Structure 1
């Protein structure tokens, strides 16, 4: 083993262990959560630990689908302050495309989304992915419809939840995001 490789491994392993220890339980053990339009797994701990996060379950064929534009505006407005947005397409309410390419076209092509989107996932009940089980447990509410919004602080705690009716530019949602941004890791 070369000296450079040895140093890389020697310093990377403790750093990875420290990052894993600092990862809130909400983001751990997500299993096989792939990025939309990709075979790349999303490691929620490495992407979002210590960062404020807005998590939204989405659907491509819903009356609330135009909220993608507002969600992207939120992301652009606050990403410099550390905010991350994660969109999770779901067909739990029977309004998601059958094809992930169509879902990607709606998100990326029609609305110009630049924040991370996952492949289609279940967000309610026993079939829900661990992230949404944790969001429901912490907040006391699973998504009631598409575009349900959860604001998570830097410690991985849900600080607010908002119904589908809440538009991304709503002052209460923006205040909750700002509160999450101001939280300390």
Structure 2
């Protein structure tokens, strides 16, 4: 049964994983830092984003997901990146874009590399632990309340999809 479920997840652009805890400290778009360790105790969905991407509308679903589950412990962290040449030129522009267009109030990192040798250490650790590397903007990585990668999804899987909501709910119950 487990093999069937894993095959089903992979066919929908998701991967169910069990890894060692993954840590990460990002520069916050507001200054200071965002330490993923501070969110331990609840699941964390990390999404590499870009303001000028065809998937940018997913910011809306990211905020809805965050609003739906934040009181139960979920944190959604947006990590803007220009790795695919679709991000605005400054953190101030990104912050303004996200606040004005999507009214985001989730944690938002500064513009951060997510692929290649210069990728942020969080994304390098996820790649080393699981083999998952963002192939485009709006890839999603779900961390368990203890920091293990428990699921990954590509750009086509929307944040409010049943696959992501089910995975989040499973972590909220665990």
- Do they superpose with TM above 0.5? yes
Higher radius of gyration, 1 or 2 = 1
Q: Deviations over 1:111-168 (max 9, x none)?
A: 0111100000000121111111122223321001000001111111111111101112
Higher relative contact order (CA 8 A, sep 6+): 2
User: CA RMSD for the aligned pairs?
Assistant: 1.4
**Quick check: which one's strand share is greater?**
2
Q: Quick one: distance in 2 between partners of 1:58 and 1:180?
A: 23
Q: State the TM-score, normalizing by the size of structure 1.
A: 0.79
- TM (norm. structure 2) is 0.84
Segments ≥4 residues shifted beyond 4 Å = none
The match for 2:36 among 16, 21, 44 is 44
Unaligned runs of 5+ in 1: 1-23
- The structure in which a higher percent of residues are helix is 1
1:35 to 17, 28, 34: 28
Q: How many residues align?
A: 155
- Name which of 110, 115, 131 aligns with 2:122: 131
Match in the other structure for 1:13: none
Gaps of 5+ in 2: 1-19
Q: Secondary structure at the match of 1:26?
A: coil
